[in-house]
């Protein structure tokens, strides 16, 4: 396999909320084309970690490097960096005052400065991709959870980011809607989109990801290929955690 291009590198990331230390020095790398799933028990710091990566939370310490360069030094203004690192939220967070199409256009027009024509075409391309093209006139509150999340994915993709961060994208969904979102995510993974996904969907992590990071109590407890971590976890805490999931093939 050819030498992989290093896209994102997190080095010794620490995050404290008041006295409470959530992340106690986390390091990992994301190469171009990687699908990295971050798993771990609730409260282990997974969401905080992914939110630190695009500075929605300010890390207390540590370095986040994009293409080998420290983000805080290279990008004088974070907005530019954030357009390269897309984000999908657990609660979708579609802009309630805009239609589906406008949701997917606003970033392109206002942030990237594209003209409306181009922005519309790009938005339509990705809405088509997630199967929401016929809903362009709907407002977010008129959509189901799964539809909202698919639009949110299209909104993030419309900026054509290098990496897509996903913070528990299916955790707020009714069970019957999880599948449609996972299907879209799998498709994106197959197309080679680089993704970092915080998830509780173990079957998805096992089948789709190229690497799995198990986080517990603010540290990386184990990191390896999905085959290894799901069939022969080394760490006792990983074993305990995974034993709670029934992962019959």
Binding residues for another protein, rule: CB under 8 A, are: 54-56, 58, 72, 77-80, 82-83, 86-87, 89, 91-97, 99, 101, 106-107, 110-112, 117, 120-121, 124-125, 127-128, 133-139, 142, 152, 155-156, 159
Question: How many Cβ atoms sit within 10 Å of the Cβ of residue 42?
Answer: 8
Q: For the stretch 67-87, what's the b/e string if a residue is b when 16 or more beta carbons lie within 10 angstroms of its beta carbon? A: eeeebeeebeeeeebbbbbbb
Closest to another protein by CB, 77 or 246: 77
Please report how close the Cβ of residue 57 comes to another protein at its closest, in angstroms: 10
Q: How far apart are CA 122 and CA 119, in angstroms?
A: 5
> Judged by CB, which is closer to another protein: 89, or 214?
89
> CB of residue 241 vs another protein: minimum separation in angstroms?
28
- Tell me the two tokens of residue 112: 């990237």
CB of 109 to another protein, least distance (A): 9
| Comparison of 80 and 247: residue with beta carbon closer to another protein | 80
58 or 246: CB nearest another protein: 58
How far is it, in rounded angstroms, from Cα 121 to Cα 236? 50
Shorter beta-carbon distance to another protein: residue 44 or 54: 54
In angstroms, give the least distance from the CB of 234 to another protein: 35
Helical spans, DSSP H, in 4-64 = 46-53
Considering the complex, state which of residue 115 and residue 174 has its C-beta at the smaller distance from another protein: 115
How crowded is the C-beta side of 135, counted as CA atoms within 13 Å? 25
Closest separation in Å from C-beta 15 to another protein: 12
171 vs 210, which CB is nearer to another protein? 171
DSSP state string for 81-133: HHHHEEEE-TT----TTS-HHHHHHHHHHHTS---HHHHHHHHHHHHHHTT-G
Nearest residue to 63 (alpha-carbon basis) of 51, 71, 74: 71
> Could you give the CA distance from residue 167 to residue 195 in angstroms, rounded to a whole number?
11
Nearest-approach distance from CB 219 to another protein, in angstroms: 24
Place of tokens 């509150």: 141
CB of 197 to another protein, least distance (A): 15
Residue 127 in tokens: 């809405």
């Amino acid at each position: 396999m050819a030498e992989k291009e290093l896209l994102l590198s997190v080095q010794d990331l620490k995050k404290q909320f008041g006295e409470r230390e959530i992340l106690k020095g986390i390091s990992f790398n994301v190469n171009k084309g990687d699908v990295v799933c971050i798993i771990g028990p609730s409260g282990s710091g997974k969401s905080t970690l992914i939110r630190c990566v695009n500075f929605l939370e300010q890390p207390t310490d540590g370095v986040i490097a994009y293409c080998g360069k420290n983000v805080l030094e290279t990008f004088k203004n974070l907005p530019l960096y954030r357009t390269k690192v897309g984000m999908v939220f657990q609660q979708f967070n579609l802009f309630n005052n805009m239609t589906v199409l406008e949701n997917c256009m606003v970033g392109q027009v206002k942030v990237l400065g594209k003209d409306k024509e181009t922005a519309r075409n790009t938005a339509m391309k990705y809405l088509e991709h997630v199967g929401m093209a016929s809903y362009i006139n709907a407002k977010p509150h008129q959509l189901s959870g799964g539809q909202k999340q698919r639009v949110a994915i299209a909104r993030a993709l419309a900026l054509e980011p290098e990496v897509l961060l996903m913070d528990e994208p299916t955790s707020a969904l009714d069970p019957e809607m999880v599948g449609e979102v996972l299907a879209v995510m799998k498709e994106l993974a197959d197309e080679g989109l680089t993704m970092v996904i915080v998830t509780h969907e173990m079957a998805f992590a096992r089948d789709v990801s190229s690497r799995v990071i198990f986080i517990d109590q603010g540290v990386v407890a184990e990191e390896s290929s999905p085959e290894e971590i799901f069939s022969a976890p080394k760490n006792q805490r990983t074993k305990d955690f995974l034993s709670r999931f029934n992962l019959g093939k």
